[in-house]
């Protein structure tokens, strides 16, 4: 019996296998790519894992984080950021109630420290300072903190459990200035809004918030020796389902691109 057909069949099988092997390898890469695009942890072209991230952030970060978020999404296609802005004490309540989120940025270290069992290690990404916001043109001629004690002046402050309210109380108490506010607001943007609308003659806000409404309010500087410095820590949340992507965003906030955006908005270096 001739063995030639058997040898030919064996040779054909070897050639066929050799041709199919690289195709199988290519198919494996495509499958991995498809799987990565469907999952939230595939890498974006910017290097960060793809994900839909929810970030809880202090109200005073409203404008700057919209700009920063757009820059981050542009650098990391496939990542989508959703921000929820509120007073830091409200954000803490949301975390305690188990709100689904991936990262947290507060306007003080005290609030963040109180959530240590729910967060990763926080990093301060920026600092801020206080100013007195008045109506445009400063019609009541407010010059410094002691003027806020005038009973004829309608002053609005943030509630003492709000970081900016706590900072305000700190600077007023240090100068032994007693102020009777017409209202105490849940966050700094609410204080600013009262002044913008003419419902208050003055209020204490962050410098960066006053800078967002220069066409409606004036900012009276508070000297360094009488001022308080707000610190903004950022951290991932342990309940995040996108831990790697959340870590990448929090890390980015301390990087040069984010710092340039924050400082352009008036925030100080951390």
Domain map (residue ranges) of the chain: 52-127+231-264, 128-229
pLDDT recorded at residue 45: 52
Q: Give the integer Cα–Cα distance in Å for 220 and 145.
A: 9
pTM to 2 decimal places: 0.82
| Rounded distance between C-alpha atoms, residue 63 and residue 73, angstroms | 16
The verdict on domain 128-229 having CATH code 3.50.50.100 is no
Query: Is CATH 3.30.230.70 correct for 52-127+231-264?
Result: no
Contact 207, 266 (CB under 8 A): yes
Indicate if 128-229 has the same CATH topology as 52-127+231-264.
yes
Q: What is the pLDDT of residue 44?
A: 56
- Name the one residue in this structure whose structure tokens are 């920063």: 68
Token pair for 18: 């050799």
220/103 Cα distance (integer angstroms)? 34
**Could you list the pLDDT tens digit for every one of the 270 residues in the chain?**
443 443 434 434 433 343 333 333 333 333 333 333 333 445 655 567 788 999 999 999 999 999 999 999 999 999 999 999 999 999 999 999 999 999 999 999 999 999 999 999 999 999 999 999 999 999 999 999 999 999 999 999 999 999 999 999 999 999 999 999 999 999 999 999 999 999 999 999 999 999 999 999 999 999 999 999 999 999 999 999 999 999 999 999 999 999 999 999 999 999
Nearest-angstrom CA–CA distance, 79 and 259: 20
In this predicted structure, what is the pLDDT of residue 205? 98
Reduced 3-state DSSP string for the chain: CCCHHHHHHHHHHHHHHHHHHHHHHHHHHHHHHHHHHHCCCCECCCCCECCEEEEEEEHHHHHHHHHHHHHHHHHCCCCEEEEEEECHHHHHHHHHCCCCCCEEECCCHHHHHCCCCCECCCEEEEEEEEEEEEECCCCCCCCCHHHHHCCCCCEEEECCCCHHHHHHHHHHHHCCCCCCCCEEECCHHHHHHHHHCCCCCEEEEEHHHHHCCCCCEEEEECCHHHCCEEEEEEEEECCCCCHHHHHHHHHHHCCHHHHHHHHHCCCECC
Q: At what angle are helices 256-264 and 62-75 packed, to 10 degrees?
A: 150
């Amino acid at each position: 019996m001739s063995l030639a057909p058997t040898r030919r069949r064996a040779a054909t099988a070897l050639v066929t296998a050799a041709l199919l092997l690289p195709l199988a390898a290519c198919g494996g890469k495509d499958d991995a790519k498809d799987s990565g695009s469907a999952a939230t942890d595939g890498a974006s072209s910017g290097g960060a894992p793809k994900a839909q991230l929810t970030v809880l952030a202090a109200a005073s970060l409203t404008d700057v984080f919209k700009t920063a978020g757009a820059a981050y999404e542009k650098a990391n296609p496939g990542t989508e950021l959703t921000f929820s802005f509120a007073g830091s004490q409200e954000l803490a309540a949301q975390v305690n109630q188990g709100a689904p989120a991936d990262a947290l940025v507060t306007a003080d270290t005290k609030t963040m420290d109180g959530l240590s069992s729910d967060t990763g290690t926080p990093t301060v990404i920026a600092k801020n300072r206080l100013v007195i916001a008045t109506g445009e043109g400063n019609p009541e001629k407010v010059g410094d903190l002691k003027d806020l004690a005038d009973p004829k002046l309608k002053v609005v402050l943030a509630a003492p459990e709000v970081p900016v309210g706590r900072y305000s109380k700190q600077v007023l108490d240090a100068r032994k200035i007693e102020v009777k506010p017409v209202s105490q607001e849940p966050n700094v943007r609410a204080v600013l809004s009262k002044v913008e609308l003419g419902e208050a003659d003055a209020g204490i806000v962050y410098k960066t918030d006053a800078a967002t409404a220069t066409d409606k309010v004036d900012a009276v500087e508070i000297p360094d020796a009488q001022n308080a410095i707000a610190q903004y820590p950022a951290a991932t949340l342990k309940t995040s389902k996108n831990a790697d992507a959340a870590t990448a965003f929090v890390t980015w906030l301390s990087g040069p691109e984010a710092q340039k955006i924050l400082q352009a908005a008036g925030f100080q270096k951390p």
